Structure 1
Amino acid sequence: MPSKPRNRVGEVYGQLTVVRLSDRRTKSGNAFWWCRCTCGRDREVPGDKLSHNTARKKPVITACLDCSKELQVEAVCAKNDREERQRRRDAEQRRADLKGKVPDSWLKLPLTDAHAREQGQVLFFRGTRCLRNHLAPYRINGGCLACAGQRPSADQSSG
C-alpha cells in the first residue's frame, strides 16, 4: 500500500488552489489532487506536477485546461511583441546609418512588415540587403522590389 501523501489542501500553485485529495494514483504512486482554478473550474492534477520551483525541468501544472491554453497564447503573443519591438529598433538603427545613401522616400516607409500592416501600407524598408544583395524596399509577402524589377537597388554596383 502506498504511503500517505502530505496534506496539500489549501496550497496555491499558480492559479490552482488544492481543494481535496483524489482517490487516484499515478503509476509511480503519486497521489492526484483536486484543484480549483481562479476561473472556478476544477481539475484533477497529479501531485508531482504541483510545484513552486520555477527552475524545475519537469513540467508543472498551474491552471485549468482552458486557462492554461490562454496563458500559452498570451506567452506567444508577448514573445512576438518583444521580437517585433527589437526588429523595429534594429531597423531604425540601420536606417539612421543609411541617411543620405538611400532616397528619403524609403526612410519614410514603415520599419517592418508588421508595422506596414498596422499602417495599412504595402511597402516597408528595413535597411537590410536581400539574398541577391539588393538594398531596396520590400513588399509585404512579396520580397525585394529590386528583385522584382520594380525599383533599382540603392547600391547600383550590386545587382
Structure 2
Amino acid sequence: MPSSPRNRIGEVYGQLTVIRGSERRTKGGNAYWWCRCSCGREREVPGDKLSHNTKRRKPTVTACERCARERQIEAVCKKNDREERQRRIDAQQKRKELIGVVPDRWLSLPLTDAHARELKQTLFFRGVRCLRGHIAPYRINGGCLACSGQTPSAEAWSEMS
C-alpha cells in the first residue's frame, strides 16, 4: 500500500486550484487530484504534474485542457505576429534601396505574402533575391515571377530602360 499523499487541497498551480483528492494513482504511485480551472472547468491531474518549479524538466499542468490549448495558440500567434512585423520592416528597408532600380508599380505592391493576403492581392514584393538571383515580385502561393518567365527581373528591367 503506497503512503498517503500530502494534502494539496487549496493550493494553486497556474490557473488550477486543487479542490479534492482522487482514488486513482499513477503507475509510479502518485495520487491524482481534481483541480478547478479559473474558467470553471474541472480536470483530474496527477500529483507529479503539479509544480511551482519553472526550471523543472518534466512537464507541468497549469490549466484545463481547453485553456491550455488556447494559451498555446495565443503564444504561437504572438510569435508569428512578431516575425511578420520584422519581415515587413526588412522589406521596407530593402525597398528604399531599390527606388529607381525597379519599376514603381513593384514598390506599390504589398510588403509580404501575409500583407498581400490581408489586402486580397496575389502578388507582393519584398525586394530580396530569389534562389536564382532575381529581384522580382512573388506570387503568394508560388515563387518569383522572373523564374516563371512572367516578368523580367530588376536587372533586366534596368537594362531595358
The alignment's TM-score, normalised by the length of structure 2, stands at 0.90
Alignment of 1:1-159 (within 5 A): 1-156=1-156
- Cα distance in structure 1, aligned partners of 2:56 and 2:2: 25
Secondary structure of 1:101's counterpart equals: coil
Q: CA RMSD in A?
A: 1.6
Amino acid at match of 2:120: G
How far off its partner does 1:130 sit?
1.1
- Cα distance in structure 2, aligned partners of 1:86 and 1:52: 34
- C-alpha spacing 1:53/1:99, structure 2 compared with 1 (3 Å): farther
- Cα distance in structure 2, aligned partners of 1:73 and 1:29: 33
- Cα distance in structure 1, aligned partners of 2:6 and 2:90: 52
- Cα distance in structure 2, aligned partners of 1:55 and 1:87: 32
How far off its partner does 1:92 sit?
1.6
Secondary structure of 2:22's counterpart equals: strand
Gaps of 5+ in 1: none
- Cα distance in structure 2, aligned partners of 1:81 and 1:149: 33
| 148-157 or 49-58, which deviates more | 148-157
Post-superposition Cα deviations, 1:25-81, rounded to whole Å, max 9, x if no partner, equal 111121111100112111110011111222222111111122222222222222221
Gaps of 5+ in 2: none
